[in-house]
A and B are shown apart, each in its own frame.
Chain A
Amino acid sequence: EAGVAQSPRYKIIEKRQSVAFWCNPISGHATLYWYQQILGQGPKLLIQFQNNGVVDDSQLPKDRFSAERLKGVDSTLKIQPAKLEDSAVYLCASSLGSFHPNSYEQYFGPGTRLTVT
């Protein structure tokens, strides 16, 4: 079974530029998550999708971050404009979803390491 795919793996941009990250979840997984992990800290949830609808985006800085999951499969996370404090690893995860009786595990991708200079 293929895992969660993310691209790019690394990205370096200057502050005030824009950047986009892509995630392809495990086939059949209804729920998709984006987490931000700053160096030395645990991951922090940014946004959660159930199919193509947003379940929780309470911690997403909406003035600069946006995310979409068109057609309920792939997802894109965008930052515009980037700030120095956005330097972090952006992790995508997926799970079977709340309507599946055996859903208890989140599967994480390898992450995208963003450096803002």
Chain B
Amino acid sequence: DAKTTQPPSMDCAEGRAANLPCNHSTISGNEYVYWYRQIHSQGPQYIIHGLKNNETNEMASLIITEDRKSSTLILPHATLRDTAVYYCIVSLGGGADGLTFGKGTHLIIQP
């Protein structure tokens, strides 16, 4: 079973920041938080991952709370192409272990 809890759906206006929350209260000390997204009829796509520190790349920012029990994925300027299902995943090694997906959050960007 997935070790994460996410809201089933969220709306965000185009051009605004989209903040997607994730709870992972049972995360172990050596487990990473990964975010993937799945656009309709495509395979999942890696977005970002982190262990303790906040991370930023060209796609998004990841904010992890100090106790590591929750995190937030931030898409700074959402566009219509960001409409997708976003999955928060806890894993020891995302490039070496199978991923356990939950149902994710369906993010809908409104024009």
A interface residues (Cβ-Cβ under 8 A, vs B): 4, 31, 33, 40-45, 48, 56, 91, 93, 95-98, 100, 102-111
Count of CB-CB pairs between chains A and B under 8 Å: 68
Distance from B39 Cβ to chain A, minimum over Cβ atoms (Å): 11
The 8 Å CB contact of B96, one of A31, A41, A44, A91, is: A31
**B21 neighbours in A (Cβ, 8 Å):** none
Give chain A's interface secondary structure class.
loop
**A111 and B43 contacting across the interface, CB-CB below 8 Å:** yes
Question: If A106-B46, A108-B45, A110-B42 touch, does A42 touch B87 (CB 8 Å cutoff)?
Answer: yes
CB pair A44–B49 under 8 Å, yes or no, is: no
> Is A45 within 8 A of B42, CB to CB?
no
Chain B hits for A95, CB < 8 A: 94-96
Of A31, A100, A103, A104, the most chain B CB neighbours within 10 A belong to A104
- CB-defined A-B contacts under 8 Å, sample of 10: A42-B85, A42-B87, A42-B102, A91-B43, A91-B44, A95-B95, A100-B95, A106-B46, A106-B95, A108-B44
Once the chains are docked, how many angstroms separate the CA of A45 from the CA of B89? 13
Q: In whole angstroms, how far apart are the Cα atoms of A43 and B103 in the complex?
A: 9
Complex contacts, A107 vs chain B, CB 8 Å: 46
Knowing A33-B98, A42-B87, A45-B98 touch, does A103 contact B93 (C-beta < 8 A)? yes
**Complex: chain B residue closest to A110, CB-CB:** B43
